[in-house]
Amino acid sequence: MFRILVRFIIQYILMLLILVRFIRVLTSNIKGMVMRKLGELIYTKEGITSEAVAKAEYHLPKIIAPDNVKAGESFKVRITVGPHPNTPEHYIRRIELYFSEEGRSFNPILIAYVDLVPLYSEPDVEFTVKLGKSGTLHAVEYCTLHGLWETTKDVIVK
Ligand SMILES: [Fe+2]
């Protein structure tokens, strides 16, 4: 009788330990998922991680736009990416242009975006933009294999 009781207690303790271990693994995974915010997942020239260095040249958007513009006058912002593969499995899916305006309470402003189709379109787009105040253009592109990449450019409005 005593042996059965000891055996039962040992089995109970083992099951309890396994349950505690399972809960710890589960909660650490959930914490890991919750802790990474979207901003931390965007690759930039300044905050590039070691695994992304080799990919930077082919993914960081290039912004071609004037340094100075006149308030209310339209100007062109060209955004290019690459050279980059353009196959159904691996291509630049989207290019977005945001603007963070000096003095504005909530930034950024989504100015424009383009969804691209593999094979038929290239990641080379141009938007016509008008600004009232100085600020920073943010070009963000999404690669179907390598995620989000961002480049910025300051524009002074006179
Ligand atoms: Fe890619």
* Close Cβ partners of 77 (under 8 Å, ≥ 6 residues apart): 63, 64, 65, 97, 126, 127, 128, 129, 137
Distance 81 CA to ligand 1 centre (A): 10
CA of residue 33 to ligand 1 center, whole Å: 23
CA 61 to centroid of ligand 1, rounded, Å: 12
Range of the domain at 18: 1-35
11-52 residue pLDDT tens: 867 676 666 675 666 566 555 556 889 999 999 998 888 888
pLDDT band at 147 (very low <50, low <70, confident <90, very high): very high
99 shares its domain with 66 = yes
Q: How far is the CA of 89 from the centre of ligand 1 (A)?
A: 10
Give residue 64 CA to ligand 1 midpoint distance, Å.
21
- Whole-prediction pTM: 0.78
- Work out how many domains the chain is built from and give that number: 2
- Distance from the CA of 107 to the center of ligand 1, in angstroms? 28
User: Could you give the residue ranges of the DSSP H alpha helices within the chain?
Assistant: 2-35, 53-59
Indicate which CATH number applies to the domain containing 92.
2.60.40.730
Q: Distance from the CA of 77 to the center of ligand 1, in angstroms?
A: 23
Ligand 1 centroid – CA 94 distance (Å): 12
Distance of alpha carbon 111 from the chain centroid: 17
Same domain for 99 and 141: yes
The Å distance, Cα 154 to ligand 1 centre, comes to 26
Shared domain check, 61 and 130: yes
| Same domain flag for 24 and 53 | no
pLDDT tens, position by position, 40-86:
999 999 888 888 898 999 999 999 999 999 999 999 999 999 999 99
